[in-house]
Amino acid sequence: MKRLSTFLLAGLAGMLVLTGCGNSSKDSGDGGDKDKSVLKVAALESGYGADMWSQIKQAYEKANPDVTVELTVDKKLEDVIGPDMKAGNYPDVILLATGREAGLTETFIKDKNLEDLSDVLEMTVPGEDTKVSEKLIEGFTDTLATNPYNDGKTYLAPMFYSPTGLFYNSSLLEENGWELPKTWDEMWELGDKAKEKGIALFTYPTTGYLDSFMYSLLSVAGGPEFFEDAMTYKEGAWSSKPATEALEIIGKLASYTEPTTVANANDQDFTKNQQLILDNKAIFMPNGTWVSGEMKDAPRADGFKWGLTPLPAAGSGDRYSYTFFEQIWMPAGAENKEEGKAFISYMYSDEAADIFKESGAIQPIKGISDKLDGENKVFYSIYDDDAKVVLGGLENVVSVEGVNLRDTLFGTVDSIVSGDKKVADWQKDIVAATDKLREAAK
């Protein structure tokens, strides 16, 4: 599951030795060689599995025999490392994205307890003659998701990226002679055709997965500059015409949503909504590239083939697809910062990227798509035509008591679909919440 409370999404994992304690593992390395530098790395365990991190550890220690990498891995990483960090004992490197329910990464952002990683971008990738900044795909370090204070400095480095969009069964469209909609008008026409056959146009795993959908939709409605205004709570952004258009599209989409979606849109039953796509009971679902692996053992309609399309355009405008990526960062209180930064720079080496790729974790480095095949080739080709990329997300620099913008912005969609809330009232709530956050940031 994307967040493994929402949209992560997505996955980081790592260990060498299992200690047999639930889903948690901790590897203390060689048993404490005093001549070795110990690098503490904490990683969230999710869909990519643990083996790739065992290999990364081995490869890094082989190239750096004076370093022992100590890994801590858990599906609820925040619960494992939180108590130690409260006592002042920090990992040197943490692999944990924003957007999780526990909000640990957001807490470090708001408290300004992150180490500046801008110098890592100028480091030469270990074993290569290229700088990290030269290896990264353009645009990945020019976003609020990496530069949360919008000050030109990078505090969270981008890791495994996953294009998002609308996933579907391409065979279903082929069998019915349906064209892939490129505009919202065409989307509504398809929805009406599908309804005649008892097929819903839309479903979603949980409302948490609607973040990437919303980000793409805001870009569709108002373009990249408006998206940036909305993400930074610029005055008037969320009451503007583009914002209204985006929210009203979701309101209309609610009437095309598969009826059981809301009942199963939770952390326990979200795969039932994903199964609707595999069973041809719904056509489109917002998700990330991990979904094919997550559902690989699930039953499916004969001839099922995964497809991925960007969000339709509004009229003659552009189509957009949001790319989610994991973040690797360093607490300001980390002890082994020099080695930690060297380890982060290694994450962008061809050697590390090849190890990650075998587990389905794709690094945002140039040329990586040329090495992919199968479903990943389909997914990572989403930008090959006319789709534009959306990066970044909600600004996370302040907290306001009683304001949970993610819940207001995304969680409310369940109530829109069920009919318990009107789009106009939803928009008023969003405006009120963003107004409070903007005032607090002054």
Residue 227's CATH number: 3.40.190.10
The pTM (predicted TM-score) of the whole model is: 0.75
How many residues in the chain?
A: 442
CA distances from 134 to 138, 340, 357 (A): 9, 20, 20
- Extended beta strands in 170-281, E state: 200-202
Asked if residue 158 and residue 255 are part of one domain, the reply reads no
Does residue 196 lie in a domain region? yes
Does residue 339 lie in a domain region? yes
Asked if residue 404 and residue 297 are part of one domain, the reply reads yes
**Dihedral-angle region of residue 343 (phi above 0 means left; psi in -120 to 50 means alpha; beta otherwise):** alpha
Q: Output the DSSP codes for 49-100.
A: -SHHHHHHHHHHHHH-TTEEEEEEEETTHHHHHHHHHHTT---SEEE--TT-
Asked if residue 329 and residue 302 are part of one domain, the reply reads no
Asked if residue 418 and residue 285 are part of one domain, the reply reads yes
Asked if residue 278 and residue 222 are part of one domain, the reply reads yes
- pLDDT tens, position by position, 49-80: 778 888 999 999 999 999 999 998 888 899 99
Residues of the chain falling short of pLDDT 70: 1-34, 46
Does residue 297 lie in a domain region? yes
Asked if residue 431 and residue 354 are part of one domain, the reply reads no
Split into its structural domains, the chain has a count of 2
Last residue of a domain, one of 378, 404, 421: 378
Q: Any bridge partners for residue 165, and if so which?
A: 287
Residues 324, 9 contacting (CB under 8 angstroms): yes
CA gap 255, 374 in Å, rounded: 34
pLDDT given at position 54? 85
Does residue 403 lie in a domain region? yes
Does residue 62 lie in a domain region? yes
Strand duo 93-95 + 320-329: pairing: antiparallel
pLDDT given at position 34? 63
Asked if residue 130 and residue 50 are part of one domain, the reply reads yes
Q: By residue range, what is the domain housing residue 54?
A: 25-162+323-378
Asked if residue 131 and residue 227 are part of one domain, the reply reads no
Residues 307, 378 contacting (CB under 8 angstroms): yes
Asked if residue 433 and residue 310 are part of one domain, the reply reads yes
Strand duo 320-329 + 388-390: pairing: parallel
CA gap 26, 422 in Å, rounded: 48
Does residue 383 lie in a domain region? no
Asked if residue 198 and residue 111 are part of one domain, the reply reads no
Does residue 10 lie in a domain region? no
Does residue 3 lie in a domain region? no
Asked if residue 179 and residue 124 are part of one domain, the reply reads no
Query: Cα–chain-centroid distance for residue 283?
Result: 22
Asked if residue 141 and residue 50 are part of one domain, the reply reads yes
Residue 171 token pair: 């065979």
pLDDT given at position 52? 87
pLDDT given at position 25? 53
pLDDT given at position 16? 29
Largest Cα separation within the chain, whole Å, is 72
CA gap 107, 247 in Å, rounded: 29
